[in-house]
Amino acid sequence: MKFVDEAYIDVAAGDGGNGCVSFRHEKYKEFGGPNGGDGGRGGHVYAVADPNLNTLVDYRYARRHEAKRGEHGMGSDMFGAAGADITLKMPVGTIISDAETGEVLHELLTPGECIVLAKGGDGGFGNLRFKSSINRAPRQKTPGWPGERKSVKLELKVLADVGLLGMPNAGKSTFIAAVSNARPKIADYPFTTLHPNLGVVRVGPEQSFVVADIPGLIEGASEGAGLGHQFLRHLQRTRLLLHIVDLAPFDDAVDPVAQAKAIVGELKKYDAALYEKPRWLVLNKLDMVPQEQRAAKVKDFVKRFKWKGPVFEISALTREGCEPLIKAIFQHVHSLQRAEQQVPDVDPRFAGDAAE
């Protein structure tokens, strides 16, 4: 399935039905009085966060979404039926903003979260509403109110606990395949990852975290070079970044330290807040380095990179060193999760019942 993380759609709630002017006509009732009913409410447009979706591809070509209008009021005290609501299912992590102003309207962050994207118009009043002691034969009615209409931008930022950073062919896809249930494309050429991959890492019973792998970054990514710049937004909601470095590149002329510094520079140019996120250094492909040279090579890299944070040495291919890294990540993520306060959202369709 094609991965789409940005789409523009038009939504229109249903208009309210018009009120009715009618009078009771029955035998032996000369002055039957008014009996025109109200119009029905127009249908709402809801947006629901569906955890089973991971792309906005459904909205790439289906741009117009319109709810039904309410029925008009009728005689014999009959009110019009409300228009049918429509529900738009979107991936968790979708940001809904105004297409013209860019103002963020909603963020769907919790599975099952439901919001009213466009409110249906109220129905108009029939002449029954205008009956009074001094106006016994009213001929007034009101039209239904128009439903809301909006042009919105949908932007998906995947929800993951851990994000993977690195140059193309640094071994990010191999790592996520080794530690999680994700099965990305893996090959011996750069840019095999063309869209974000999510993987759930199981640490123990009811103990897990989510890892996001994005296409590899290259120098100039913050200005649009390569593929990774299109997906850097998917790292903005992560709690931890793993900077994966190829410690044994095929080309001897390639300096891993220079590549690592280029990644950090692009991260800082793109988003200062993303640059300030907790970041761990993961030196990969140790299986390509002779055993007797590993310690010296790691020490030299850390010294020249001037890195003072956590360092992990792994081989994603053989899974050497992956287990301690996974446990450390889980402890870090779990501690942050416990510190966060989560307030459950109330489905607006049942907000009235909750208030009672």
What confidence score (pLDDT) does residue 2 get? 46
Cα gap 24→27, rounded to integer Å: 10
Q: What is the 3-state secondary structure (H, E, C) of the chain?
A: CCCCCEEEEEEECCCCCCCCCCECCECCECCCCECCCCCCCCCCEEEEEECCCCCCCHHHHCCEEECCCCCCCECCCECCCCCCCEEEEEECCEEEEECCCCCEEEEECCCCCEEEEECCCCCCCCHHHHCCCCCCCCCCCCCCCCCCEEEEEEEECCCCCEEEECCCCCCHHHHHHHHCCCCCCCCCCCCCCCCCEEEEEEEECCEEEEEEECCCCCCCHHHCCCCHHHHHHHHCCCCEEEEEEECCCCCCCCCHHHHHHHHHHHHHHHCHHHHCCCEEEEEECHHHCCHHHHHHHHHHHHHHHCCCCCEEECECCCCECHHHHHHHHHHHHHHHHHHCCCCCCCCHHHHHHHHC
Residues 167 and 244 in one domain: yes
Cα gap 37→51, rounded to integer Å: 42
Cα gap 10→6, rounded to integer Å: 14
pLDDT band at 212 (very low <50, low <70, confident <90, very high): confident
Residues 289 and 322 in one domain: yes
What confidence score (pLDDT) does residue 221 get? 44
Residues 151 and 167 in one domain: no
pLDDT band at 148 (very low <50, low <70, confident <90, very high): very high
Mean pLDDT score across all residues of the chain? 81
pLDDT band at 340 (very low <50, low <70, confident <90, very high): low
In a domain, 84, yes or no: yes
Q: Which amino acid is at 307?
A: W
Q: Which amino acid is at 318?
A: T
Residues 140 and 205 in one domain: no
pLDDT band at 18 (very low <50, low <70, confident <90, very high): very high
In a domain, 354, yes or no: no
pLDDT beyond 80 at 73:
yes
Residue 302 sits in which domain range?
162-339
pLDDT beyond 50 at 186:
no
pLDDT beyond 90 at 309:
no
Cα gap 67→242, rounded to integer Å: 45
Least confident of 18-27, 88-97, 159-168, 177-186: 177-186
Q: Are the C-beta atoms of residues 16 and 42 closer than 8 Å to each other?
A: yes
pLDDT beyond 60 at 354:
no
CA 322 to chain centre: 29
* In the chain, % of residues over pLDDT 70: 83
CATH number at residue 11: 2.70.210.12
pLDDT band at 346 (very low <50, low <70, confident <90, very high): low
pLDDT beyond 70 at 101:
yes
What confidence score (pLDDT) does residue 215 get? 67
The total of structural domains in the chain comes to 2
Residues 11 and 62 in one domain: yes
Residues 74 and 188 in one domain: no
Least confident of 130-134, 167-171, 184-188, 231-235: 184-188
Among the three residues 117, 134, 156, which one is the final residue of a domain in this structure?
156
pLDDT band at 135 (very low <50, low <70, confident <90, very high): confident
Residues 168 and 303 in one domain: yes
Residues 246 and 134 in one domain: no
Residue with the larger pLDDT of the pair 48 and 259: 48
**What pLDDT digit, counting tens, does each position of 213-225 carry?**
776 554 544 454 4
Cα gap 321→147, rounded to integer Å: 58
pLDDT beyond 80 at 39:
yes
Over the range 120-156, which residues count as b (16 or more CB within 10 Å of their CB) and which as e? bbbbbbbbbbbbeeeeeebeebbbbbbbbebebbbbb
- Tell me the two tokens of residue 342: 């989560």
Least confident of 97-111, 162-176, 282-296: 162-176
In a domain, 345, yes or no: no
pLDDT beyond 90 at 262:
no
Residue with the larger pLDDT of the pair 344 and 269: 269
Cα gap 321→75, rounded to integer Å: 78
CATH number at residue 271: 3.40.50.300
Q: Give, rounded to a whole angstrom, the gap between the first and last alpha carbons of the chain.
A: 44
Residues 83 and 24 in one domain: yes
Mean local confidence (pLDDT), 111-131: 92
In a domain, 126, yes or no: yes
pLDDT beyond 70 at 226:
no
What confidence score (pLDDT) does residue 228 get? 45
Residues 150 and 225 in one domain: no
Residues 248 and 128 in one domain: no
Least confident of 45-59, 179-193, 233-247, 305-319: 179-193
pLDDT band at 156 (very low <50, low <70, confident <90, very high): confident
